[in-house]
Amino acid sequence: MKAVRPSGLALTCYLILLMLPLYWLIKMSLQSNEDILGTFSLLPVNPSFDNYITIFTDSSWYLGYVNSLTYVLMNVTIVLLVALPAAYAFSRYRFIGDKHMFFWLLSNRMAPPAVFLLPFFELYHAVGLFDTHIAVALAHCLFNVPLAVWILEGFMSSVPREVDEMAYIDGYSFPRFFVTVFLPLVRNGVGVTAFFCFMYSWIELLMARTLTLTDAKPISVTMTRTISAAGLDWGLLAAAGTLTLIPGALVIWFVRNYIAKGFALGRV
């Protein structure tokens, strides 16, 4: 029999500690409130999908997911449209103050979101954007665009400048070169960037909560508002939490190869 190595043991302990909250969440989501509060057991007592059925049939619940997904996808689209040209400019051209501006972009991420809450709230009210999807998507750009420019610039700078020149010599116009030649070369970077923007926007609570009321209310906010006269609905909350994890897990699954390359090549 093979001896158990200490390192293997440590890894197992670590994994158990890591997965325990996740398991507990899923276990709770399959139980009713009474069972959760009544008994302590490692396996779910009377497991059922009732909580999930509630979420998928009650529009106040499932619209939370729709709202979240809507502004997250809007945000990722806007960020990529803005950051791709910006990162290209930073990687290819020298202009006055380029290095300072590049650093200033990053420093935007150092400010706490709470700082921007009041101006955004006031501004959006004034122009009638309050409680819309685009409001949240734009607000998240404040943090995602700098990050995206930073990541993409690293990827773009790893493409030799001579490729650009070659394309011009061969008769490419800039837009055609950018889309057909250049973008395929930085697709790993685009994947990594989209992932980070998606995740930030998906889990961000403070802005999403302040800038929405009902029409664009995201799922994370819905979850914080489950306190009813009867107290907290633990099972329902756990089920909603489990469902919230799924998009993130899916995105990670799809971009896992890009991310591995991204860590190796770029600026992540």
Partner 1 sequence: MTVTLDGVTKTVAGETHLYGMSLSLVPNGLNVLLGPTTAGKTSILRLLAGLDRPTAGRVLVEGADRTTAGVRDRDVAMVYQQFINYPAFSVYDNIAAPLRRARLPGPEIDRRVRDTAALLHIDHLLDRLPGQLSGGQQQRTALARALVKRARLLLLDEPLVNLDYKLREELRTELRHIFQTGGATVVYATTEPQEALLLGGQAIVVDAGRVLQIGEMVDVYRNPASVRVGEVFSDPPINLIAGRIAGGEVQFGGEMRAGRPVHFAGLADGAYRFGVRAHHVDLAPAGPGAVSLSGTVELSEISGAETFVHVRHNGLNLVSHEEGVHSFRLGEPVTVYVDPDRLYAFDAADRLAASPHGPAGAAPVLAKTAGAGPA
- 265 touches partner 1 (CB under 8 A): no
CB 78 within 8 A of CB 262: no
- 170 touches partner 1 (CB under 8 A): yes
Site for partner 1 in 132-161 (CB under 8 A): 160
- 184 touches partner 1 (CB under 8 A): yes
Member of 181, 206, 223, 265 binding partner 1 (CB under 8 A)? 181
CA angle at residue 118 from 116 to 121, to 5 degrees?
105
Minimum CB distance to partner 1 smaller for 121 or for 172: 172
Member of 21, 171, 175, 264 binding partner 1 (CB under 8 A)? 171
Member of 7, 57, 107, 173 binding partner 1 (CB under 8 A)? 173
> Least distance to partner 1 from the beta carbon of 94, Å?
9
Number of residues that bind partner 1 (CB under 8 A): 15
Member of 56, 121, 172, 178 binding partner 1 (CB under 8 A)? 172
Minimum CB distance to partner 1 smaller for 119 or for 184: 184
> Least distance to partner 1 from the beta carbon of 164, Å?
10
> Least distance to partner 1 from the beta carbon of 179, Å?
12
Per the document, the length of the chain is 268
Q: Would you tell me which residues interact with partner 1 (CB under 8 A)?
A: 160, 162-163, 165-173, 181, 184-185
